[in-house]
Amino acid sequence: MTLTTNGLASDVASNVAGKRVLVTGGASGIGAASALLLASRGAKVVIGDLSEEQGKAVAKQGQDAGHTLVFKKVDVTSGDEVRVLFAFAMAELGGLDVVVNNAGIDHKPAPMHELSDEDFDRNIAVNLKGVWHCMRAAVGCMASNGGGHVINVASIAGLRSAPLLSAYSAAKHGVMGLTKSAAHEYARVNIRFNAVCPSFIDTPMVRNTMANMDERAQQATIKASPLRRLGTVDEISGAIAWLASDESSFMNGHAFTLDGGMLA
């Protein structure tokens, strides 16, 4: 092992080489960056997403660079579609070592009593039940290949309040409950569960939300972290790639915050 000047092993990246990975919501933002990074480090990756056009474009980008990156359309709110996605990934990759449950949506910022039934139900369906569908499918697949690691993309909104985003926050708190409970339930079959909890990251989702804010609210969002900026998708995908590597092998049931110090 070669050590770099900061003392980190320089061969960490190769720890994901050959890993069989499924990333949901891999057509955009954090999911696309994670899928592309993992594939560039030698992982074999399937991405599942609702958006066929964008998903195919991300897969092509990886394939053009010589990497294994395959797209399959899925709506994670459907348990049946999730089963089909996992069967596809198992057949395509020959097993599953890592699942990144990243597909998610936000909702129009509003005080809780003004949220529509539709916004509330849709948020829970995608951000919570969709994650549960994928965790359930992952357990079945990973138990058959001797273990694995499920990485749920939650949020700091799953750890603290998110004013005007209460349905989103409720769903993400739910994801933390699923993550922590599953970490206890499946350790005996060598399946680990962890969550990453980003603050505001510069992705299409956040740009879309910020477009509806006035200048003052936009600045407050940008400066919410002590680093006084949004995070980048590369800063999240780098952490996800580390979690996907064997370097994270003793981490289980953990909320890995990536927030520039916001919760400190």
Using CB under 6 A as the binding rule, whether residue 35 contacts ligand NAD is answered as: no
Stretch that binds ligand NAD, among 1-9, 24-32, 61-69, 139-147 (CB under 6 A): 24-32
Residue with smaller CB distance to ligand NAD, 145 or 235: 235
- The reply to whether 186 belongs to the active site is no
Residues 187-206 that bind ligand NAD (CB under 6 A): 198, 200-201, 203-206
Distance, in Å, from the CA atom of 246 to the CA atom of 253, rounded to the nearest integer, reads 16
Kindly state the number of chain residues that form the binding site for ligand NAD, as judged by CB under 6 A.
29
Q: Is 252 in the site for ligand NAD (CB under 6 A)?
A: no
3-class secondary-structure state, position 25? coil
Site string for ligand NAD, 50-89 (x = CB under 6 A): xx----------------------xxxx------------
Contacts 24+ apart (CB under 8 A), 170-178: 170/123, 170/124, 170/128, 171/123, 171/124, 171/126, 171/127, 171/128, 172/127, 174/124, 174/127, 174/128, 175/101, 175/127, 175/128, 175/131, 176/255, 178/128, 178/131, 178/132, 178/135, 178/152
The Cα 76–Cα 69 span in angstroms is 19
Smaller CB separation from ligand NAD, 145 or 218 = 218
* Binding flag, residue 103, ligand NAD (CB under 6 A): yes
- The CA distance from 55 to 48, in Å, is 8
CB of 8 to ligand NAD, least distance (A): 25
From 71, 132, 168, 200, active-site residue: 168
Which one of the spans 3-11, 48-56, 91-99, 237-245 is the region binding ligand NAD (CB under 6 A)?
A: 48-56
List, in order, residues 6 or more apart from 159 with CB less than 8 Å away. Answer: 173, 176, 197, 255, 257, 263
Q: Does 169 bind ligand NAD (CB under 6 A)?
A: no
Q: What is the DSSP letter of 192?
A: E
Size of the chain, expressed as the number of residues it contains = 264
Q: Using the rule CB under 6 A, is 152 a contact of ligand NAD? A: no
What residues contact residue 39 under an 8 Å CB cut-off, 6+ apart?
A: 45, 62, 65, 67, 68, 69
| Residues 127-146 as x/- pattern, contact with ligand NAD by CB under 6 A | ---x----------------
Residue of 36, 46, 49, 248 that binds ligand NAD (CB under 6 A): 49
Catalytic site positions:
168
Applying CB under 6 A, the residues found at the interface with ligand NAD are: 24-25, 27-31, 49-51, 74-77, 102-105, 126, 130, 153, 155, 198, 200-201, 203-206
